[in-house]
Amino acid sequence: MMNNKYKILLVEDDANISNLIAAMLEATGYQVLLAESCSMAKLLYSSYLPDLIILDLGLPDKDGMELLHFVRKSALTPVIVLSARTKEEDKVAALDSGANDYVTKPFGSAELLARVRTALRNHRFSSEEGRLPGGRFTLRDLEIHYEARQVFIQGQEIRLTQTEYNIVAFLSENAGKMMTYSAIIKAIWGSGAYDGSIKKLQVNMANIRKKFGAKPGEENYITNELGVGYRMNG
Ligand code: CA
């Protein structure tokens, strides 16, 4: 029974927060390993190889980013950053260093659990099944056929331009992960002039959302975090 449980490494020095999260995760059926410092987290990570890491950035010994770099040297273990730092630059830095997602304190339990589920599911999908060229991506009634480069909603083909398709495909290949503007721009246009590309990206995203039938201010398949990036939900 224990062996079937996902192991989650929770790195958090605030006992009130860690107790709350640990209780919530355990009630949901996860096994929790708790570290109160960066050095302890490294030790637990290396000994137990957890399935997911929830990472506070403000730790007593080192910055939590150090653990993120340490893990990313050798593994794609999903990392959800949980931080009181709300500046866009901090989020972008964590995401561009390989964090899968970023949750800002204070947070809702339901929201954090949803992000954990998404990160675990997408990681399992990408590591076990791979993304074959002829593969398909499904998110509720949205379907992408990679080989034919076609996108369908409720079985109806959505006509996208080449660029729009490339953006949608890239986000779907990283579903559940918040992709920063610069990561998307690099993938779609190469590392060109970044400033002009943000505008181009925003125009393309607006068109994609319109074609996907999103109403202004409403999220359907793709979430936009202003100043940070986009995430294909899932
Ligand atoms: Ca802290």
pLDDT tens string 175-217 = 888 999 989 998 888 765 666 788 899 999 999 999 999 877 6
Ligand 1 centre distance from Cα of residue 63 (Å): 9
Ligand 1 centre distance from Cα of residue 197 (Å): 35
38-42, 48-52, 220-224: range with lowest mean pLDDT: 220-224
Ligand 1 centre distance from Cα of residue 106 (Å): 12
In eight-state DSSP terms, residue 8 is E
Instruction: Give 99-135 pLDDT, tens digit per residue.
Output: 999 999 998 889 999 999 988 887 665 544 444 445 8
Ligand 1 centre distance from Cα of residue 124 (Å): 29
Instruction: Give 43-96 pLDDT, tens digit per residue.
Output: 999 999 999 999 999 999 999 999 999 999 888 899 999 999 889 999 999 999
Ligand 1 centre distance from Cα of residue 58 (Å): 4
pTM above 0.85, yes or no: no
